Amino acid sequence: MGKVTVIDHPLIQHKLTMIRDKNTGSKAFRELVKEISMLMGYEVTRNLPLEDIEIETPVCKTKSKTLSGRKLGIVPILRAGIGMVDGILELIPAAKVGHVGLYRDPETLEPVEYYVKMPTDVSERELIVVDPMLATGGSAKAAIKFIKDRGATNIKLVCLVACPEGIEAVQDMHPDVDIYVASVDEKLDEHAYIIPGLGDAGDRLFGTK
């Protein structure tokens, strides 16, 4: 079963409160989502492997730690996931970025991919899938499946706000995927919105409502 980590750092919780507030406009919302994503990135990358290399300080030669060349990828789920990419890229600028876009077929209610573009060496990369909201889990489950279909084997999911239903759905379908969230909210409402949540993340990021 994938591990669930709630990153409850005070700075993250403070900024999360600001994006929950309905009076926070798109500019501030975008900036805050970027900042929270960067802060979450510290925890998500905590177990990256290190190796010793030999360097010379101004004083003497020494061995010192460096990241041991693990290849990383960030994969936003379109479209709201895009808001989380830049914050994580600030921490790991060498990461490649893949994209997954999907919509729900109005008749079958099945998720349909409309755009998937991944780095060519996707099977060698540790992938961080990002989406601000994990509600029913339908989008994340499908996005992770589409990525696995292309060869990915090492995947983490990072969301700002989740609910128990979404977490359980992803764990059931993808028990190999660890999940990182800033909050596990109470529940879903009858429209599959997270309560208390922050509303429609895509609309608030891009000002489309």
Position 87 contacts ligand PRP (CB under 6 A): no
Residue in 83, 13, 84, 15 with CA at minimum distance from that of residue 44: 84
Position 76 contacts ligand PRP (CB under 6 A): no
Position 81 contacts ligand URA (CB under 6 A): no
What residues from 24 to 63 belong to the interface with ligand URA (CB under 6 A)?
A: none
As measured in angstroms, the least distance from the Cβ of 78 to ligand PRP is: 6
Q: What is the rounded CA–CA span in Å between residue 4 and residue 13?
A: 17
Q: Measured from the CB atom, is 122 or 144 closer to ligand URA?
A: 144
Name the binder of 112 from ligand URA, ligand PRP, none, CB < 5-8 A by kind: none
Nearest residue relative to ligand PRP (C-beta)? 202
What residues from 94 to 133 belong to the interface with ligand URA (CB under 6 A)?
A: 133
Sign of the torsion angle spanned by Cα atoms 203, 169, 172, 5: positive
Position 195 contacts ligand PRP (CB under 6 A): no
Name the binder of 194 from ligand PRP, ligand URA, none, CB < 5-8 A by kind: ligand URA
- Between the alpha carbon of residue 193 and those of residues 19, 143, 170, 201, the distances in Å are 15, 19, 17, 10
Kindly report the number of other CB atoms within 10 A of residue 183's CB atom: 22
Q: One-letter amino acid identity for 155?
A: I
Kindly report the number of other CB atoms within 10 A of residue 146's CB atom: 20
